[in-house]
Structure 1
Amino acid sequence: MHIDPNITAREADAAPAPDAAPAAGADSAPIIENDAETNGERSIGIALRRGWRRACPRCGGGPVFDGYLTVRDQCMVCGEELHHHRADDMPAWITILVVGHLVVPMLLTVNDFWAPEMWVHMVMWPVVVLALSLLLLPRFKAMVVGLQWATRMGGFEKKS
């Protein structure tokens, strides 16, 4: 390796090595951890994690939603068709179940340790429930879409 005395340490760190691979740009293909088209298996765990991030269950690169809860017809990155999902009421049911199991113990703990006035409960808990519901509902819906994709439910069957 040749060291040029006219280059500062900062410039040397920023310069790419001559034998280094080119950096991934916007036009490079996405790296797909679990591409169902190449290995035939779809991981439920990876699909659920990608759903939690609200990303495409196949590539993890594109957003699964076009808005707050509207599922895109297809992924913007890998082109996977998502329009045939059937999430229906399951995300709302999971949200109610999880939010209820989080809020009720919190409510009881706050009431036992601090015993605030009733008006504090009436102001605080609806806000907490609403915030948790708005945060969790899209994540659970994307996880349901990912689960359906991973288990090949509905229109997510293997293409022949």
Structure 2
Amino acid sequence: MASADETIEARATWPALIKGWRRRCPNCGTGPLLSGYLKVRDRCPVCREALHHHRADDGPAYLTILIVGHLMAPLLLIVFETWRPEPLVLFTIFAVGCIGLSLYLLPRLKGAIVAFQWARGMHGFGGDTT
């Protein structure tokens, strides 16, 4: 039987991140990681991997704000300088865009953060209780 350190070393980070982005279990890749919009399951229903160790906290929200801000701010400037739309039209389009992009990214980034913690053996995913 392999020790906890050998098990963690065998976990590849990038495949786990891709599985997490797809909101799937980082271990098997088929079981759903989330039971709701942002609620992480205690265990994978397919492979029974424990997932309750995660500590995603505010990380997905910070990353969502960072990505949405860096995408939408330059786009707002380009659209304003190129077409000069009415302020209410500009606000409506970009408000819907920011909300839609945020709602799309938030659960995917949460899955990726949980998968990263799983792959690196953080917060108890490696078998220890720390």
Fold shared per TM-score above 0.5: yes
Residue correspondence of structure 1 range 34-45 to structure 2 within 5 A = 40=7, 41-45=10-14
Residue correspondence of structure 1 range 96-115 to structure 2 within 5 A = 96-115=65-84
Normalization by structure 2: what TM-score? 0.90
| Structure with greater helix share of residues | 2
**In structure 2, C-alpha distance between the alignment counterparts of 1:105 and 1:80, rounded to whole Å:** 42
Q: Which runs of 5+ in 2 are unaligned?
A: none
- Paired position in structure 1 for 2:62: 93
**In structure 2, C-alpha distance between the alignment counterparts of 1:155 and 1:63, rounded to whole Å:** 20
Instruction: Determine which structure has greater relative contact order: mean sequence separation of CA pairs < 8 Å that are 6+ residues apart, divided by chain length.
Output: 2
Q: Which runs of 5+ in 1 are unaligned?
A: 1-36
Q: Say whether 1:124 aligns with 2:86.
A: no
Deviations 1:92-146 (A, max 9, x none): 0000000001101111111111110111112111111100000000000000000
- Paired position in structure 2 for 1:59: 28
**In structure 2, C-alpha distance between the alignment counterparts of 1:145 and 1:84, rounded to whole Å:** 9
Deviations 1:37-63 (A, max 9, x none): 9x7311110111001100000010001
- Paired position in structure 2 for 1:157: 126
Normalization by structure 1: what TM-score? 0.73
The count of aligned residue pairs is: 122
Let me know the Cα RMSD of the aligned residues.
1.4
Residue correspondence of structure 1 range 17-56 to structure 2 within 5 A = 40=7, 41-56=10-25
**In structure 2, C-alpha distance between the alignment counterparts of 1:158 and 1:64, rounded to whole Å:** 19
Q: Say whether 1:84 aligns with 2:53.
A: yes
**In structure 1, C-alpha distance between the alignment counterparts of 2:12 and 2:83, rounded to whole Å:** 45
Partner secondary structure for residue 51 of structure 2: coil
- Which amino acid in 1 is paired with 2:79? V
1:71 maps to which of 28, 40, 45: 40
Partner secondary structure for residue 154 of structure 1: coil
Q: Percent identity?
A: 52
- Paired position in structure 2 for 1:147: 116
